Homo-oligomer: A and B are copies of this chain.
Amino acid sequence: MIKANPGHFFEDFKVGQVLHHATPKTVTTGDVALYGALFGGRFAVQSSDEFARALGHAGAPVDDLLTFHIVFGKTVPDISLNAVANLGYADCRFLAPVYPGDTLEACSEVIGLKQNSNGKTGIVYVRSRGFNQRSECVLEYARWVMMVKNDTSIPAPDPVVPELPAIIEPARLAGISEAVSFKNYDIDLAGSPHKWKDYAIGERIDHVDGMTIEEADHMMAARSFQNTARVHFDQHQAATGRFKRRLIYGGHIISLARALSFNGLGNACFVAGINAGKHVAPCFAGDTIYAWSEIIAKAELSARSDLGLLRLKTFAVKNQTCEEFPGQADEGYARDVVLEIDYWVLIPR
């Protein structure tokens, strides 16, 4: 009997099936320090217990994307070990803050299946959720991946394609409790004078700074997320593959872009939800990541006069600065764009 995890194949998934993922992880100030050292975030709420407490938090909450990566990492052995491609995300909502000391678990429900016409692959749709030790859902998102079919003789399942929102309605973004108020938010201490009202729809922001990625950086990050996708770690195998290089976890680029976005969006301190994310091109060690953002929409939250929502599209670009805002281009993307992410952020009014 093979003891190593063979992963799942397309035919192993059934609509409605729930997978409880290993390994539970207590998030500590050690993880937070490491995340800070790897990505360089400077949002004050996540950096300072005192700043967070002034808003009504119990202490500095964990960076939303660190929570995402930890939950995502848990799903890899069960969902995407044999994935051909990560096709997309949608409806990702951060539902409760995570604090150091909290323990995260994850599970996924299969919400759709569609075999491809070649009979050799199929698309699996899952809704993954992260829970804290009180069984509160802290994060949920839908994701779809293309999987290999191991036994092509098994008949195709009835196709089920879930309806997923292209944009999350602001009312469904529930990550800020009533106990938290931005009334005491200190913009001087946070490092940016720009509040919700200062951003205009259509405005484009060059985040200016660039960050070069080392092999040690992205592997350390992915290991700390307990993400086991082999392509990130094994140069011996990668050398014989398509890219000849270890592939950087797409989430690494998301976190870099988010950290870079501080320069221009310094008060956009929480990611409330991710509408969609697309990894346009792979990244490798040695690449330098730049980013820019466009304000797509603005929204108010009912009964909250202290904060508002910005809907952003952030583009990450490699080895090219962003003064000219490289993004979508005819039939695709401008050269060297590596990431487009569409998300809602919370920002004081």
The smallest beta-carbon distance between A208 and chain B, in angstroms, is 5
Taking CB atoms, residues of chain B closer than 8 Å to A181 are none
The answer to whether B288 and A24 have CB atoms under 8 Å apart is no
A224 at the interface (CB under 8 A from B): yes
Which of B105, B236, B321 interacts with A319 by CB under 8 Å? Answer: B236
Q: Among the listed stretches A84-92, A211-219, A327-335, which one makes contact with chain B, having 4 or more residues with CB under 8 Å of it?
A: A211-219
Secondary structure call for the A interface: mixed
The smallest beta-carbon distance between A285 and chain B, in angstroms, is 9
A281 at the interface (CB under 8 A from B): no
Which of B20, B190, B216, B234 interacts with A210 by CB under 8 Å? Answer: B234
The answer to whether B208 and A4 have CB atoms under 8 Å apart is yes
The answer to whether A217 and B219 have CB atoms under 8 Å apart is yes
The answer to whether A47 and B30 have CB atoms under 8 Å apart is no
Taking CB atoms, residues of chain B closer than 8 Å to A265 are 3
The smallest beta-carbon distance between A246 and chain B, in angstroms, is 7
Taking CB atoms, residues of chain B closer than 8 Å to A235 are 212, 286, 288
Asked, given contacts A3-B265, A24-B50, A219-B214, whether A234 binds B288 with beta carbons under 8 Å apart, the answer is yes
Q: How many copies does the complex hold?
A: 3
Query: Size range of the interface on A?
Result: 35 or more
A172 at the interface (CB under 8 A from B): no
In the complex the two chains form, what is the Cα distance from A266 to B224 in whole Å? 18
Interface flags, A28-48, vs B, CB<8A=1, else 0 = 111111101111101110011
The smallest beta-carbon distance between A263 and chain B, in angstroms, is 5
Taking CB atoms, residues of chain B closer than 8 Å to A105 are 189
Spell out A's residues near B (CB within 8 Å). Answer: 1, 3-5, 20-26, 28-34, 36-40, 42-44, 47-51, 59-60, 77, 100-101, 103, 105, 133, 188-192, 194, 198-199, 203, 205-212, 214-217, 219-221, 223-224, 226, 228, 230, 233-237, 246, 263-266, 286, 288, 290, 319-321
Extra pairs beyond A28-B29, A209-B230, A210-B233 (18, CB < 8 Å): A4-B205, A4-B264, A20-B189, A21-B191, A22-B266, A24-B44, A24-B48, A26-B47, A26-B59, A28-B33, A37-B220, A37-B224, A40-B226, A42-B226, A211-B234, A212-B236, A236-B320, A236-B321
